[in-house]
Structure 1
Amino acid sequence: MDGKLSPEEGKKREESKEGYITRWKSVIPCPPVPDTNLASFLLREMANHGGKQALVDAVTGQHYTYSDICAMVPRVCANLAAAGVSAGDAVLLVSPNGIEFPIAQLAIQLLPATCVAASPFLSPDELVHVMRVGMARWAVVDESVLGVIEKVTTMLPNTLREIWVIGSSSKSHPSFYSLMKTERWAAWPPQVENSSFNPAREVALMQFSSGTTGLTKGVMLSHRNLLTLYMQVKYFVEDVDNKKKASGEPDSEADILSRVLLFIPLHHNYATIMFNYVVIVGGCCVMMKTFSPHSFFNALQKYKITYAPIVPHIANFLLHTPLLKEYDISSLKSLVSASAPLPPSTKQALTTRMDCAMRQGYGLTETCATVASTIPHVYSKMGSVGRVMPYLEVKIVAPESSKGLPPGEEGEVWVRSPAIMLGYANVPGATASPSALKEGGWLPTGDLGHCDHEGFLFITDRIKDMIKVKGFQVSPRELEDVLRRVEGVREVAVIGVPSPRLGEAPRAYVVPLPGEATPSSQVLKDYVAARLPPHKHLAGGVQVVDAIPKNSIGKVLKRRLRDEYLRAEAAKKTAGPPSKL
């Protein structure tokens, strides 16, 4: 079941004129996507779960049932409308993970307005950028970020018409809870699906790209995009359950997803995807505001968590933390990692140490839906990010010519799907014709990878991160995987730095394990040199650091490492000759 394609599956792969496979599609049936308002559809789905717990605060234990959500979302929507928020307006939502976040988001989308979801860890300048891109005129914010929001209002005066605060009461702004408890608008429900409402064009959610290479871009996702995501998850879950029954697997997806611990930021697409999984099976999301070691393990134990989404640097932490011995996490059935590549060695080691299954997913904010996913014993292969998911097509192209490449040959991963974004906000023409899309509606992902003959997708690295050494293409990920095997290494990031002799040279940044002897730069260089050819040696040097910069979802900010290196080299020029790499 893990690898081979049935004859029916083979038909899902299209061949080029050259006679080799150039496109891969899911074998799972893809019924039509509902042509409706996202929030109204989700509320109807949630109503099927009635009084089951849906949202729980990991710290306080406060919770809402599915019935609570179905009652509160229309109420909040009505009160937003009574306050002046209109269909088509943009409402900024800035909050750490909390049980109010999904209610606010759904209420905004039900109106239907656009929910502009932003990180609560942004600086005032970064939020100004978000405000300008998202064109928000209203805001729902957590009390923890109110000070930053108020600074933004001085930088952009007369922009926000009202700010509702989640948390303690504010003297200067109304409470979000007032929207949940009272109903001032008698003419409920609003006509969310009138003749002018177009689910394929109306922006339901604006999320922001990771921002590893500069200012974040506002990714516009329509009601249709997000409904495609929901349908993808629904039919993927059904398919997995059918395959499990056929093979005698004991746990259904509803069993595995019954209690999900969610510290992945809700403003990020990864969390949006996970929330869809939970809703489909009628599970419960236990919300953590941010990750902290003791809080994580305490929540696993206290709430008998069955499923936990993580990111690679958290996976690395879990491999080495002694806290594992202090808590009972026997309820945990599976972890899932996404947002960045997870080394196969880490995946194997974590499965053993945590005594649970390990899944992996691959996607982009721009694709909205998951591109590929693994399920142990159903869809999995060592080193692969999984099979192509429903409602998507994948092809591998030569970066220079955009020609489709055969199985096993490496190129850029392109994706096509009704889930792919409308475009980037405030990019001229992006709404009608997304500038990021190629002819035929294909989205270049910027990732280097390949598909094998069985339809499994493998990701090598980001194209922009590849290091060009004397004409050779060197993958930082390959070097990072090697360095992680060195005793005493906790985290590592490799970048390319300018070299007069080589063009570019690999340079490693290493975070040592606390409490263990720190390996020297020479030891690390020698370790790589003994295992890889000369053009992959660390000619750019090794630097031991306390931490590697990351964004809010855990992606390494390699741009920042490069900028810091270039600034340091520029400063050296006044003190001595330039470095000879």
Structure 2
Amino acid sequence: MEWRNIPELVRWSAVRYADTEAVVDGRTRITYAGLGARVERAAAACLAHGLRPGDRVAIWAPNSLDWLVAALGAVTAGGVLVPLNTRFKGAEAADVLRRSGTRLLFVTGTFLGTSYVTSLRRAVGAGRGPDLPGLPELRTAVVLSQDAPPGFLTWPDFLAAGEGVPAAEVREAEIPADSDIVYTSGTTGRPKGAVITHAQTLRAYDTWSDLAGLRHGDRYLVVNPFFHTFGYKAGALACLTRGATLIPQPVFNAGTALANIAAERVSVLPGPPTLLQSLLDHPARRDHDLSSLRLVVTGAAVVPLRLVRRLRDELGVATVLTAYGLSEASGLVTMCRRDDPPEVVAATSGRPVPGVEVRVADGAGAALAPGTPGEVLVRGYNVMRGYDGDRAATGEALTPDGWLRTGDIGVLDRQGNLTITDRLKDMYVVGGFNAYPAEIEQALARHPGVTEAAVVGVPDARLGEVGRAYVVRRPGASLTADELIAWSRREMANYKVPRTVRFVRELPRNASGKVLKGELRGGD
């Protein structure tokens, strides 16, 4: 590995792959040399606007060339990236911005019919003026567009400020050890920021690229959102390490993805099983030439053996791999190998990647024999430094001898392949998005007609899993399921919204008062 940090990787790739096409975004096509120049310009603009080493820089926008340039520019200027989920509502985004102490924000204009700026201003109690009173640390907010409301800069105006910054000043910018903070949720429902370093990120996705077989000249369709480790790191940064061409798609639409694969001769397509299933089952699939596809990497949910075989047999995909990771472990823990048979790819998430240990343990942390389910523990270079500003949560997640308690239940076979069988944290995956019941339950409890709620994931043919809420009404309330679902759509990201609601007199609990979610699931 030839890079100490992400800015060095960007500059190295701009020289090593100078004339190779780096990004195709609609009608815009740029080479690696061109990408490097854009990133340097964005970094200069960050410095011109007062960015200091270690300042947090958030980006709330869909996949695009501008997302990539803004993010890499901020990191090149010494910022620590805080990616925000594009499905967040304004209050959810404001909470992360506030707790992370974000100083610089890049935000999209209108996306999926929603003005993100308006949503954010409402959440922090802003009027028509330029101030965002609920975000005292925020100094600069930039709309990735040609237009911006008062108090926000346009993307061109932001970049223009960097024109007077000498190139040497950009090159000499101090790069802190931390590269990004990825916010996730746990059993408490309070989002926590996993702090990951440049060294961890670069080693992990250099390894990922080796194991996957990513190579120079590959054309990589990135449908996985950049705000997620899978999109930004296994997507954009992996491309930089190998000189692959990045083709960002802002929203998953099977028809659009098929057209992109055919038109751009896409060879690499990672994504959750629900995405791949949608492509295979699309009525227009046979109208598109998909013969260029050679590599698919999936995970995040149960992978049917039939899906693996269809990808190989119907589309001729030579390599189909599964993997397991979590934000607290840099997004990468285990991975199948390219010579694994379909049965191993479908039934497991592969073996630990080099430099990483995996243990399946009992409640006391003692290793269990192969074939015995227990909590998955991870130790290695990839484990986060901790949760940003949350020592208590860090202490719960990390053992004194360096093991990360993942909260996932799994089984190791005798070859070291890991199968995830359940989740201690009760997380479920909705179309590739992680949904955390405790967070959703806390939101539902804010409704004036709700006393308490419990949320579980249930199977769904299209999305893999969706939420079902069991709700205890407040005395005298006449709340209906449709009313609560409609309210939820206004208050939380769409993937978090329960698809069904069942009203109960009381929630089943054990002797210590813990809700018996297994009983709720078993009652269906």
TM-score range (shorter-chain normalised) is: 0.7 to 0.9
Q: Please report how far the alpha carbon of residue 461 of structure 1 lies from its aligned counterpart in structure 2 after TM superposition.
A: 2.1
For 2:224, the equivalent position in structure 1 comes to 264
Judged with a 3 Å threshold, the aligned counterparts in structure 2 of structure 1 residues 313 and 214 are, in CA distance, closer, same or farther, namely farther
Q: How many residues align?
A: 445
Q: Counterpart in 2 of 1:104?
A: 70
The Cα of 1:122 is off from its aligned counterpart by 1.0
Would you say the 8 A contact 2:87–2:494 is kept in 1?
no
Cα drift, residue 285 of structure 1:
0.9
* Alignment of 1:352 onto 2:330: no
**What secondary structure is seen at the aligned counterpart in 2 of 1:183?**
helix
Equivalent in the alignment of 2:35? 69
* Counterpart-to-counterpart distance in 2, 1:443 and 1:46: 36
Question: In 1, Cα distance between the equivalents of 2:20 and 2:390?
Answer: 43
Q: 1:100 aligns to what SS in structure 2? A: helix
Q: What does residue range 122-141 of structure 1 map to in structure 2 within 5 Å? A: 122-141=88-107
- Describe the SS at the equivalent of 2:43: helix
CA distance in 2, matches of 1:294, 1:345: 22
Q: CA deviation at 1:160?
A: 2.5
Within the candidate set 208, 219, 224, 2:183 is matched to 208
Aligned residue for 2:240, secondary structure, equals helix
User: In the superposition, relative to structure 1, how do residues 118 and 198 fare at CA in structure 2: closer, same or farther (>3 Å)?
Assistant: closer
Task: Please tell me whether residue 169 in structure 1 is matched to residue 147 in structure 2.
Answer: yes
The Cα offsets for residues 26-72 of structure 1, whole Å up to 9 and x where unpaired, read as xxxxx8x96x3332244224421112111111xx2212211012212
- Mapped contact 1:88–1:114 kept (Cα < 8 A): yes
Query: Quick one: which of 13, 19, 22 aligns to 1:54?
Result: 22
Structure 2, unpaired ranges of 5+: 111-115, 127-132, 430-434, 438-453, 464-484, 508-519
In structure 2, the partner of 1:293 is 254
Task: Give me the whole-angstrom Cα distance separating, in 2, the residues matched to 1:264 and 1:308.
Answer: 9
**Distance in 2 between residues matched to 1:122 and 1:78, nearest whole Å:** 29
Deviation at 1:332, TM superposition (A): 1.5
Partner residue in 1 for 2:380: 417
Q: How far did residue 211 of structure 1 move? A: 6.6
Aligned pair 1:393/2:375, yes or no? no
Q: Hey, what's the Cα distance between the residues in 2 that align with 1:377 and 1:556?
A: 35
Q: Name the TM-score, length of structure 2 as normaliser.
A: 0.75
Tell me which residue corresponds to 1:517. Answer: none
Counterpart AA for 2:50: G
- Structure with the bigger RCO (C-alpha within 8 Å, sep 6+) is 1
Q: Deviations over 1:365-405 (max 9, x none)?
A: 1110421112442586251211211221111111x221112
CA 1:571–1:344 in structure 2 vs 1: closer, same or farther (change >3 Å)? same
Gapped regions of structure 1 (runs ≥ 5) = 1-30, 241-252, 467-475, 478-492, 496-503, 514-545, 573-578
Q: Which moved more, 1:327-336 or 1:40-49?
A: 40-49
Counterpart in the other structure of 1:146: 117
Contact 1:235/1:390, CA 8 A, preserved across alignment: no
Alpha-carbon spacing, 1:62–1:178, altered in 2? closer, same or farther (3 Å): same
**CA 1:109 to 1:139, structure 2 compared with 1: closer, same or farther past 3 Å?**
same
Q: Provide the residue aligned with 1:219 in structure 2.
A: 194
| Aligned Cα root-mean-square deviation (Å) | 3.6
Task: Work out the percentage of aligned pairs sharing the same amino acid.
Answer: 23
Q: For 1:221 and 1:269, how far apart are their aligned partners in 2?
A: 11
What's the offset of the Cα at 1:462? 1.5
Kept after mapping to 2: 8 A contact 1:424/1:434? no
Structure 1: distance between partners of 2:395 and 2:207: 22
Q: 1:410 to 1:416 in 2, by over 3 A?
A: same
Specify which of 272, 275, 285 is matched with residue 324 of structure 1: 285
* In 2, Cα distance between equivalents of 1:512 and 1:81: 45
How far does the alpha carbon of each residue in 1:259-301 deviate from its partner, in whole angstroms, 9 at most, with x for none? Answer: 1111111010111222233222211111111011221111111
Pairs within 5 Å for 1:546-557: none
